[in-house]
């Protein structure tokens, strides 16, 4: 195995340690990942922009800092990919997955990127996303679809699909993502990596021109990685209140400390389908086999019903009101901030995004108010479960075979069991559960009480110890 290949298989925490001890250099690490991008990305299509020259320069400076004996952060020299939506770095092209913004260059750096860079991470490029992050598969009119490295006939999931694929293929050590309906968790499941949607407000979002569009659907940014420890390292750097985000909260957590917590006394609830989702036997078999890992780690696992009282159709109608309104809000902000009415650019805007804009126009305060009743009933039902149990487990996706260019228009809300948790704001992780009989990746969701992110991380780490998933990247 070459040095370059070996470095791209290391966890971020191990790579950072080897850089700090002088075993390898930051320049070695960056060069190895750039070579991996060159070797694999033509097939996977995970990156939109590769910042090769800037990354090499930053790595050289990181090496000089160690030579000088400077104090360095926990991610010193580790390559980081940024989702090409909301995670901005000044001077880098950020397209939001849209041909309309193909030449857009960020004029500022987002708070979470600044924090990760302060911890020592080196931005290596930006990763693919569907146009404005509007759907659960990654495909756009700018660079096309992103494939899952586990099976390139499958889509990487969305909307953080480029980040998940880049991680699974060893093209980056860490990556950012964001989640409005499952956009961290869907691609984590589709690519066999780990992601956590933190409790809403824990990770700040200083995005502009509006700071008030993230509450109804609880949109949040979060870490994506190959290991739970790496995600905890990222979350430790990213979390913390910020004056530019009116939704951020001053809650202190200890992500890394949580990894040492035992789950001996942990009570885990398992819902095979959130009462209503059409989960396939293929997925259910893999997830239920993985439940034994928690029992082996000392936890008790009980199958439950969530008892939210709604049919899948009623849940879908509620999320149509919230999600489609948020898409219309995106279109409105684009018009106000950039003078671009997406409805006047049908040749440059995807049909699916335009369709969502038009659907959003049909919803108003009345529909949102009605949806609030359904959303509250679901929230209360999850709270009731988490009052009795420490963690709620579900499959991440109802099926594991979504094709690279598959159109999910008729079943988009049936596929992910993720979006109801964007109403509730609970922390929810997505971890690899294993491979199906057809070698398709299957994911497991772990939900915890609000601001109990440490509990979610501890349970995730227990799963990883009992059922390691690093073989997925070989």
- What is the CATH classification number for the domain harbouring 7? 3.90.1300.10
Residue by residue, DSSP assigns 165-197 as: HHHHTTS-SEEEEEESSSTTHHHHHHHT-EEEE
Residue 2: band (very low, low, confident or very high) from pLDDT cuts 50, 70, 90: low
- Say which residue the tokens 């957590």 belong to: 253
Structural domains of the chain, count: 1
d(C-alpha 157, C-alpha 171), whole Å: 17
Reported as a pLDDT band with limits 50, 70 and 90, residue 325 is very high
pLDDT digits (tens, 9 = 90+) for 164-208: 999 999 999 999 999 999 999 999 999 999 999 999 999 999 998
pLDDT of residue 390: 98
DSSP 332-371: HHHHHHH---GGG-TTTS-HHHHHHHHHHTT--HHHHHHH
Question: Residue 146 sits in which domain range?
Answer: 3-472
Under a CB-based contact definition with an 8 Å cutoff, are residues 117 and 51 in contact? no
Q: Model confidence over 68-119: pLDDT tens digits?
A: 999 999 999 999 999 999 999 999 999 999 999 999 999 999 999 999 999 9
Q: Which residues are catalytic?
A: 83, 159, 183
What pLDDT does residue 3 have? 59
* 240 alpha carbon, distance to own chain's centre: 18
Segment 326-349 shows an average pLDDT of 94
Q: Tell me: the pLDDT tens digits for 279-288?
A: 999 999 999 9
Residues facing residue 184 across a β-bridge: none
Would the pLDDT of 216 be above 90?
no
Token digits of residue 201: 């407000």
Listed residue (125, 117, 5, 2) closest to 61, CA to CA: 117
Whether the predicted pLDDT of 469 surpasses 90? yes
Q: How far, in Å, CA of 164 to CA of 149, rounded?
A: 9
Positive or negative: CA dihedral 71, 75, 80, 84: negative
pLDDT tens-digit readout, 256-302: 999 999 999 999 999 999 999 999 999 999 999 999 999 999 999 99
pLDDT of residue 5: 62
Say if residues 219 and 193 touch (Cβ distance below 8 Å).
Answer: no
pLDDT band for 410, please (50, 70, 90 cuts). confident
Task: Give the mean pLDDT of 2-22.
Answer: 90
Confidence of residue 388 (pLDDT cuts 50, 70, 90): very high
3-state secondary structure 266-293: CEEEECCCCCCCCCCHHHHHHHHHHHHH
Whole-angstrom Cα distance, residue 124 to residue 81? 6
Among 220, 55, 231, 182, smallest CA distance to 126 is for: 55
Predicted confidence band at 133 (pLDDT cuts at 50, 70, 90)?
very high
Residue 4's pLDDT band (cuts 50, 70, 90): low
Identify the pLDDT of residue 424.
94
Q: With cut-offs at 50, 70 and 90, classify the pLDDT of residue 43.
A: very high
Query: Which residue, 219, 187, 216, 185, is CA-closest to 205?
Result: 219
What Å distances lie between residue 166 and 127, 144, 146, 274, 297, CA to CA?
8, 15, 10, 30, 31
Q: Which residues of 419-429 are buried (b: 16+ CB within 10 A; e: fewer)?
A: bbbbbbbbbbb
Check residue 467 and report its DSSP letter: S
Q: Identify the top-confidence range among 194-198, 247-251, 361-365.
A: 194-198
């Amino acid at each position: 195995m070459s040095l370059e290949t070996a470095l791209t298989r290391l966890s971020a925490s191990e790579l950072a340690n080897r850089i700090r001890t002088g075993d390898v250099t930051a320049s070695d690490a960056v060069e190895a990942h750039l070579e991996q991008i060159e070797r694999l990305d033509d097939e996977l299509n995970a990156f939109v922009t590769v910042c090769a020259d800037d990354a090499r320069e930053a790595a050289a400076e990181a090496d000089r800092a160690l030579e000088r004996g400077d104090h360095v952060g926990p991610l010193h020299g580790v390559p980081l990919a940024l989702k090409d939506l909301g995670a901005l770095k000044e001077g880098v092209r950020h397209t939001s997955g849209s041909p309309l913004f193909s030449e857009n260059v960020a004029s500022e750096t987002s708070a979470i990127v600044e924090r990760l860079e302060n911890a020592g991470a080196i931005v290596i490029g930006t990763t693919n996303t569907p146009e404005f992050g509007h759907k659960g598969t990654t495909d756009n009119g700018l660079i096309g679809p992103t494939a899952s490295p586990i099976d390139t006939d499958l889509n990487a999931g969305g909307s953080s699909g480029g980040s998940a694929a880049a991680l699974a293929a060893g093209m980056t050590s860490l990556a950012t993502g964001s989640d409005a309906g499952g956009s961290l968790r869907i691609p984590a499941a589709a690519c066999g990596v780990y992601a956590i949607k933190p409790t809403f407000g824990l990770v700040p979002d200083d995005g502009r021109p509006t700071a008030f569009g993230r509450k109804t659907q609880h949109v949040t940014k979060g870490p994506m990685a190959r290991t739970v420890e790496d995600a905890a390292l990222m979350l430790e750097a990213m979390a913390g209140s910020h004056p530019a985000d009116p939704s951020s909260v001053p809650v202190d957590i200890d992500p890394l400390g949580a990894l040492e917590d035992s789950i001996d006394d942990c009570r885990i609830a398992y819902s095979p389908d959130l009462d209503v989702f059409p989960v396939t036997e293929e997925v259910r078999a893999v997830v239920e086999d993985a439940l034994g890992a928690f029992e082996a780690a000392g936890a008790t696992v009980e199958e439950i019903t969530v008892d939210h009282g709604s049919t899948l159709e009623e849940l879908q109608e509620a999320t149509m009101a919230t999600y489609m309104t948020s898409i219309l809000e995106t279109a409105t902000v684009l018009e106000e901030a950039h003078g671009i009415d997406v409805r006047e650019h049908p040749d440059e805007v995807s049909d699916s995004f335009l369709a969502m804009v038009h659907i959003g126009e049909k919803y108003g305060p009345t529909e949102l108010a009605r949806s609030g009743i359904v959303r509250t009933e679901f929230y209360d039902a999850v709270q009731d479960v988490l009052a009795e149990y420490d963690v709620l487990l579900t499959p991440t996706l109802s099926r594991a075979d979504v094709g690279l260019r598959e159109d999910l228009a008729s079943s988009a809300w049936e596929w992910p069991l993720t979006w109801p948790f964007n109403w509730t704001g609970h922390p929810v992780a997505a971890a690899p559960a294993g491979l199906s009989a057809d070698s398709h990746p299957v994911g497991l969701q772990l939900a915890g009480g609000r601001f109990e992110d440490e509990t979610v991380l501890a349970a995730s780490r227990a799963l990883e110890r009992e059922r390691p998933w690093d073989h997925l990247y070989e």
